[in-house]
Structure 1
Amino acid sequence: MELSPSAHQDTFTRDHLPPGEQWPVLEFTLPELQYPDRLNAAEALIDDTAAAMGADRTALLTPDGERWSYGLLLERSNQVARVLAEDLGVVPGNRVMLRAPNNPWLVACWLGVLKAGAVVVTTMPALRAGEIGTLMELTRPTAVLCDHRFLDDMRAAAGEVPVVPVGGDDDGDLTVLSAAKPASFTNVQTAADDVALLGPTSGTTGTPKITMHFHRDILANADTFARHILQPVADDVFAGSPPLAFTFGLGGLVVFPLRFGASALLTERTTPAQLAELSRQAGATVLFTAPTAYRAIIKEGLADLLRPLRMAVSAGEHLPEATWREVKKETGLELVNGIGSTEMLHVFISAAGSDIRPGATGRTVPGFRATILGPDDEEVAPGEIGRLAVIGPTGCRYLDDPRQENYVVNGWNVTGDTFRQDADGYFYYQARSDDMIVSSGYNIGAPEVEAALNQHPDVLESAVIGRPDPERGSIVLAFVVLRENVPPGDAKAVELQDFVKQVIAPYKYPRAISFVDELPRNPSGKLQHFKLREIVETAQA
């Protein structure tokens, strides 16, 4: 695909895009996806929205009562851009790494980087020096903006790269440097297809894959999923648990509200119960969190806190039908299910309102199309199980990574998820492709077994994997977290096995159960099944 003339002086990202023959097909089928050749996503999100909706409108809220208006966010992002360009020598195309929990200054930094024409790389505060060092080697930032509370690991990993603290009161802190700058900035007129952000993938083993997203991509996920499924209005207040370092959180808590003149509640770290309470206090109308969090809120008797929501979105992991029905029964809310990926930037299959079919992930979001591919990479008939493949205005572009060839097949983005599609175009999740367990010739989806186990009143959560077995090939092994004060043991294991046999086909029951205190999750809350497989492999070695 021919790219527009770039505004980047530092051509690192253009130089490391995949070869053209490895790109997915890109389609811009909706009028709202027809973006101009020159486009700065930050300008569209904050300058244009502040001008259209008014500078006094609330943009960001915090649990301690802090309020940033659109005008204040615009001024501070302009000042950040000035510090980058004038004090740190950042030029268009340089990468700038951000490290902070969800708070207003992180949003100002994110916008400021884009305004300066640089490329943003947002990382998690939970990462350690070795993990940060790997990301720095891959993305080669020229500057780092880091929350003042998380400097030690960052400085250990940064080497000679300058690290500017954020949120403190030292003379060298970004907040102090910014305050000395004028509140205006001339945005760099980047190309719509200049790289705007580099997003590391999560939840996998080995070296992280770095996804590359253009300025137009950032707006496209708002103009597809948000515009057509969530249908935001300016009075909406968005809230949620995902970190802004993950594209699910970036969309739900920054891009979507700013695109439509709404506001967002930013919480640095919360339990599900705290999230529900803070969302209620802030008057949240749209909530983003994982199925696990919705289950926890219901089990703690806090369903009433969710009732005022206009819309509750579940993503990040599979939403079992039982959880959907439980939330509906207890709160009246019909959870908006969806599947997306870091490679595609956000959700591309979903449904809302009367379009929801319990148990289905949904249909393709306007602007996307999807299908199911069989073992020969050809499309299969409705009802057949295979690999989910999708095409739309966004697509996978890994930063200089041979794994690009595995993700893109004949122009399709192949997500690594096993689905089936019915005759009406609804997609039904089966498992991650590597979470499908074959036992004695039966295909058993780990999520189905987990959903059955989680219905037991004594089970807080569970994770299921296949364990190699000489007779059956594999058996279903369940890791189970019990409610407090419920004793584990052989009798409880048998009780759970019998329970599962009553909920789903008996051959799918877990033949082995391991009781654990907690399950491994990445910072976004996604279950890390690969770590459980590593435990099993180590035990059998």
Structure 2
Amino acid sequence: MELSPSAHADPFCRDRLPPIDLWPELHFDLPELDYPDRLNCAARLLDEAVEQHGPDRPCLLTPTERWTYGELRHRANQVAQVLTEDLGLRPGNRVLLRGPNNPWLVAAWFGVLKAGGVAVTTMPMLRAGELAELTDISRPSVALCDHRYADELEALHRPGAPEPAGRPGPADPVAGSAAPAAPAPPVLRYGGTGAADLTALCAAKDGRFDTVATAADDVALIAFTSGTTGRPKATLHFHRDVLANADTFSRHVLRPRPDDVFTGTPPLAFTFGLGGLVVFPLSVGAATLLIEQATPLQLADLVAEHAATVLFTAPTAYRAIMEAGAVDRLSGLRRCVSAGEPLPAAVWHEFHAATGLRIIDGIGATEMLHVFISAADEDIRPGATGRPVPGYRAAVVDEHGAPVPDGQPGLLAVTGPTGCRYLADPRQTSYVRNGWNITGDTYVRDADGYFWYVARSDDMIVSSGYNIAGPEVEKALLAHPHVEECAVVGAPDERRGMLVKAYVVLAAGVAADGATVAELQAHAKASIAPYKYPRAVEFVTELPRTGTGKLRRGALRERARTDTRSASPSPAAPARVVVERRVEWTDTDAAGHYHHSTVVRWVEAAEAVLLHRLGLSHLFGSTPRVHFEADYRARLWFGDTVRTELRVTKVGSASLHYAFTVRGEQGGEAATGRMVIAHSAAHATGSTPWPDDVRELLGAAGPQQPELLTTAEAPGGTPCASQS
């Protein structure tokens, strides 16, 4: 593959592209993806739209403004004139853009592209330290910033300005890793007053500008990934990439019409928002309603007021609109798109029942620019992300890149007309392997070619040898009416390696106490395999999110890592508790073997009583810290702070019921609990191995078959075992 001759006088971006042999495979199978060598996406989206639909066609709407296509082109040309005539911008120079969703931000984006520049889109809520990193990586010549958000950028020019937090960063193949930090770019404000404001400078220009004839593979856009750890990754996207997403997902799945009015909440700095609120509507001559900030209820009101027909937002917003009783405000919509986080099937069904609308789910990535797996209309299977968008190919592979059979989880791999190209970053080889983009998501493909989300690959929790997907646990918890939001991560645990920890935002009026913890845990165990339930639950008022609304799981993982609290219920149960549970024969199989949930339930009850985790090795194996006596009493010591006593008593002679009484002390307070468990006499004698599921549950911590530690003749001649 060879690149076309570049129109960029400044070769910064092209010089820092990864070597072509590290790119993913690119496919341009559809006729609409056959782009000419010279292509400027601003000319295609804006100039050609004016010629086709006329200058007076509505284009950008706000609650207080209305710009036509002609007005947007005129102002974009004025921005290009200011950049080139007043600021000396050369093709290939980078221009940082910062501001909320409004028409001037769109005009600035188009003006940069028409001038042959590279737009560096940034989230408006970033702080000075974060901006220092982005400017150090992208080295912009100038920043165009909404006047209300300029302080953080201008702080980079003051004494004591923050240094880029991520330095030293990846070695720059051109400047070298020892290159000094980039100077802060000059900041040109817009939307304010005064002669130096961009809007005033634009007013002095005639709005005539010849769009630079860039190459289709000249870089048009630098978008930063919204990760939560490490130095940000800058993704490089060509002019043809911007159009490719309109010619794949938008054309074949969304299928917009010229009379549509788009709206939504994702920031334009987020490629999901840039595509859904600018590129897709302008590609067909539609209008877009730009909203700087809105609650879900305000969003619903704006949809009704402006007769919006296409809505882009996150699952949480759809759920909140329903909870606010505002679905009637959405009656004019014909398309709803969800992305940014998995769309629970329950939310899809509830929204469909309330509105008759089928939410279009999808997965995209900053590295891919927009959505590449999705489905619409009758092709939707609630809970599934969808199938590859026309123009893209997808597979599920193992860590070595080999395909895995349908029905088995693996890494999502994608190729198409767009793909990952990091700016001078060695992490390129982690994302692109064997020609595939490896997105970092774990998926299952079914026999019909639908892709089902399991988890982010780094969201898999390995506990006692089990692979547990955090989102699966979240789905179970979200089905409980007490749960407003939740996030599940792995927390370090000496015995299990990791345990499942849930951060839960409760619904209004629900008590954040031990009883609620127990109820949520019981609900999870009834919904999914019991070993997946959250052993630790922490109630929070809100979940950490990125500026794009994505859950910051990395922040929660770090919080769980540094939290020294045990897996006891949060808030902790009172010190004096009585827990009683009777487990009947329904918990056993046909052979009379008790299911591993019996074990799990007893452990939970004991933990709730003692406010301390009980290792399964204490229950099923003899360790130096456990002493069994002839009267079926076990004394367990946990350091110097917790002393517990386990007493086993046969209950009745016909049924094999055993009463477990647990007493313990912690901090001088006594706690008592009682539980009744049924089990097999064969297991009690040690003559029958554990069933496979029990053995898997025990793992290396417990014996591979019951050990007869103490026995005695109970009524009816049935032997008892203290470790039952």
Q: TM-score, normalised by structure 2?
A: 0.74
1-side partners of 2:47 and 2:36: how far apart? 16
Aligned to 1:385: 409
Name the amino acid aligned to 2:242. I
Aligned to 1:456: 480
Query: Is the contact between residue 8 and residue 190 of structure 1 (CA under 8 Å) also seen in structure 2?
Result: yes
Name the amino acid aligned to 2:61. L
Aligned runs of 1:91-110 on 2, under 5 Å? 91-110=90-109
1-side partners of 2:476 and 2:105: how far apart? 39
Aligned to 1:32: 32
Query: Is the contact between residue 361 and residue 375 of structure 2 (CA under 8 Å) also seen in structure 1?
Result: yes
Query: Is the contact between residue 320 and residue 448 of structure 1 (CA under 8 Å) also seen in structure 2?
Result: no
Aligned to 1:75: 74
Secondary structure of 2:359's counterpart equals: coil
Secondary structure of 2:348's counterpart equals: helix
Aligned runs of 1:102-121 on 2, under 5 Å? 102-121=101-120
Shift of 1:449: 1.3
Query: Is the contact between residue 135 and residue 184 of structure 2 (CA under 8 Å) also seen in structure 1?
Result: no
User: Aligned match of 2:552 in 500, 522, 528?
Assistant: 528
**What is the CA RMSD across the aligned residues, in angstroms?**
1.2
Comparing 486-495 and 104-113, the one that deviates more = 486-495
Percent of aligned pairs sharing the same letter: 62
Query: Is the contact between residue 228 and residue 555 of structure 2 (CA under 8 Å) also seen in structure 1?
Result: no
Name the amino acid aligned to 1:15. D
Check if 1:152 corresponds to 2:176.
no
Aligned to 2:536: 512
Query: Is the contact between residue 55 and residue 71 of structure 1 (CA under 8 Å) also seen in structure 2?
Result: yes
Check if 1:219 corresponds to 2:243.
yes
Aligned to 2:437: 413
Aligned to 2:460: 436
2-side partners of 1:505 and 1:299: how far apart? 29
Query: Is the contact between residue 544 and residue 551 of structure 2 (CA under 8 Å) also seen in structure 1?
Result: yes
Query: Is the contact between residue 198 and residue 213 of structure 1 (CA under 8 Å) also seen in structure 2?
Result: yes
Aligned runs of 1:132-281 on 2, under 5 Å? 132-157=131-156, 161-281=185-305
Query: Is the contact between residue 307 and residue 332 of structure 1 (CA under 8 Å) also seen in structure 2?
Result: no
Secondary structure of 1:475's counterpart equals: strand
Comparing 453-462 and 183-192, the one that deviates more = 453-462
Aligned to 1:61: 61
1-side partners of 2:230 and 2:156: how far apart? 19
Aligned to 1:128: 127
Name the amino acid aligned to 2:89. V
Shift of 1:442: 2.4
Query: Is the contact between residue 268 and residue 277 of structure 2 (CA under 8 Å) also seen in structure 1?
Result: yes
Q: Deviations over 1:8-67 (max 9, x none)?
A: 000000000001111100000000000110000001111001110111111111022x10
Comparing 295-304 and 335-344, the one that deviates more = 295-304
Aligned to 2:611: none
Q: Which structure 1 residue ranges, 5 or more long, are not aligned?
A: none
Query: Is the contact between residue 391 and residue 417 of structure 2 (CA under 8 Å) also seen in structure 1?
Result: yes
Secondary structure of 1:86's counterpart equals: helix
Shift of 1:473: 2.4
2-side partners of 1:498 and 1:537: how far apart? 25
Query: Is the contact between residue 492 and residue 561 of structure 2 (CA under 8 Å) also seen in structure 1?
Result: no
Q: Deviations over 1:307-340 (max 9, x none)?
A: 3210111100111111111111222111101000
2-side partners of 1:474 and 1:150: how far apart? 42
Q: Deviations over 1:155-213 (max 9, x none)?
A: 12255522111001110001010011012110000000000010000033010000000
2-side partners of 1:319 and 1:214: how far apart? 30
Name the amino acid aligned to 1:527. L
Name the amino acid aligned to 1:208. P
Secondary structure of 1:258's counterpart equals: helix
Check if 1:322 corresponds to 2:321.
no
2-side partners of 1:407 and 1:451: how far apart? 28
Name the amino acid aligned to 1:33. L
Name the amino acid aligned to 2:150. L
2-side partners of 1:128 and 1:48: how far apart? 38
User: Aligned match of 1:401 in 425, 428, 432?
Assistant: 425
Structure 1: 4+ residue segments shifted above 4 A: none
Secondary structure of 1:313's counterpart equals: strand
Query: Is the contact between residue 459 and residue 469 of structure 2 (CA under 8 Å) also seen in structure 1?
Result: yes
Q: Deviations over 1:233-264 (max 9, x none)?
A: 00111111100001000000000001110011
Shift of 1:232: 0.4
Secondary structure of 1:514's counterpart equals: strand
Aligned to 1:300: 324
Aligned to 1:16: 16
2-side partners of 1:483 and 1:381: how far apart? 40
Query: Is the contact between residue 307 and residue 333 of structure 1 (CA under 8 Å) also seen in structure 2?
Result: no
Query: Is the contact between residue 132 and residue 184 of structure 2 (CA under 8 Å) also seen in structure 1?
Result: no
Query: Is the contact between residue 362 and residue 373 of structure 2 (CA under 8 Å) also seen in structure 1?
Result: yes
Shift of 1:485: 2.8
Secondary structure of 2:381's counterpart equals: coil
Secondary structure of 2:563's counterpart equals: helix
Query: Is the contact between residue 203 and residue 526 of structure 1 (CA under 8 Å) also seen in structure 2?
Result: no
Name the amino acid aligned to 1:451. K
If asked which structure has higher relative contact order (CA below 8 Å, sep 6+), I would say 1
2-side partners of 1:447 and 1:304: how far apart? 30
Aligned length: 540
Secondary structure of 2:67's counterpart equals: strand
Shift of 1:91: 0.6
Aligned runs of 1:474-485 on 2, under 5 Å? 474-485=498-509
Aligned to 2:4: 4
Name the amino acid aligned to 2:72. L
Task: Specify whether residues 511 and 262 from structure 1 end up closer, same or farther in structure 2 by C-alpha distance, changes over 3 A only.
Answer: same
Query: Is the contact between residue 40 and residue 216 of structure 2 (CA under 8 Å) also seen in structure 1?
Result: yes
2-side partners of 1:286 and 1:503: how far apart? 35
Bigger radius of gyration: 2
